[in-house]
Amino acid sequence: MTEKPVLGQPITFTSVLKRDTSDYPRKTWRAVPQTGQGVIVGLRSLQNGYTQNDIEEGRSWVLKTITPAFLVAVHLRKSPIYVPLGEETP
């Protein structure tokens, strides 16, 4: 996308981000190929990391990386999806 995306802008995308917990307790966001169209309704910072148990401090979240993503509405009655930045076209 050459221009800065704006709220409410229609886009076409080639992949979406899904939460991967197969390597529990690590949780990461992975790009899954999926094409579609939608409208940008927000921008999110998705966290990759894991939970750590400590006897004195209890359970805590350990942040490894942050993945920026567009929040895209594809249908009026369905939950919005996450689209990685750079995977969209106007």
Of 48, 78, 53, residue with least CA distance to 63 = 48
Average pLDDT of 22-29? 87
Residue 41 pLDDT exceeds 70: yes
Q: Return phi, psi of residue 16, to 5°.
A: -130, 160
Q: Which residues pair with 33 in a beta bridge?
A: 15
Residue 57 pLDDT exceeds 50: yes
Which pLDDT score, from 0 to 100, does residue 40 have? 95
Which pLDDT score, from 0 to 100, does residue 25 have? 80
Residue 23: band (very low, low, confident or very high) from pLDDT cuts 50, 70, 90: confident
d(CA 74, CA 11): 10
Query: Do 43 and 53 touch, CB atoms closer than 8 A?
Result: no
Query: Do 27 and 11 touch, CB atoms closer than 8 A?
Result: no
Average pLDDT of 17-39? 92
